[in-house]
């Protein structure tokens, strides 16, 4: 199972791969074209539009009005960011406390975290 499959459904994951590979925001029609390239049977426009709208509602995609529709882009950079956001949303402070416990119990993880915090400072 890929990292993305752990946090998203199959079509959601395909849509995210298309958007992460894009140079900028894409319309539903552009994403649909990429998804349907070489695919049989093809996906319906309304199916892709609904999934993209739901991803935006979840905060995984951002969207800006464009004509009569929207242009979408990834609001999060990768599957790990989606997973962390979901855990923090679902478990809040308890998730942070468990993270600290895990890092504290693993000296190599503690060192990696220390280095990451130095870079961010």
Specify the 3-state DSSP secondary structure of 58.
coil
Output phi, psi for 75, to 5 deg: -90, -15
The two tokens of residue 103 are 């890092």
Does one domain contain both 84 and 53?
no
Q: What distance in Å separates the CA atoms of residue 44 and residue 119, rounded to the nearest whole number? A: 45
Does one domain contain both 83 and 70?
no
Number of domains in the chain: 2
Q: What are the average pLDDT values for consecutive 10-residue runs of the chain, which has 121 residues?
A: 84 97 97 97 98 97 97 96 93 94 93 89 70
Range of 20's domain?
3-74
CB atoms within 10 A of CB 44: 11
**The pLDDT of residue 5:** 86
Does one domain contain both 104 and 58?
no
**The pLDDT of residue 1:** 62
**pTM, whole model, 2 decimals?**
0.84
**The pLDDT of residue 40:** 96
Q: Looking up tokens 């994403």, which residue turns up?
A: 31
Does one domain contain both 92 and 65?
no
Q: What is the CATH number of the domain that holds 60?
A: 1.10.10.10
């Amino acid at each position: 199972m890929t990292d993305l499959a752990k946090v998203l459904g199959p079509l959601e994951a395909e849509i995210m791969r298309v958007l992460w590979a894009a140079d900028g925001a894409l319309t539903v029609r552009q994403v649909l074209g990429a998804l349907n390239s070489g695919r049989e049977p093809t996906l319906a426009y309304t199916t892709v539009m609904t999934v993209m709208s739901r991803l935006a509602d979840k905060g995984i995609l951002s969207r800006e009005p464009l004509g009569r529709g929207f242009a979408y882009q990834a609001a999060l950079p990768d599957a790990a960011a989606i997973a962390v956001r979901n855990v923090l949303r679902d478990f809040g402070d308890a998730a942070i406390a468990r993270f600290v416990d895990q890092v504290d119990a693993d000296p190599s993880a503690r060192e990696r975290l220390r280095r990451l915090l130095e870079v961010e400072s």
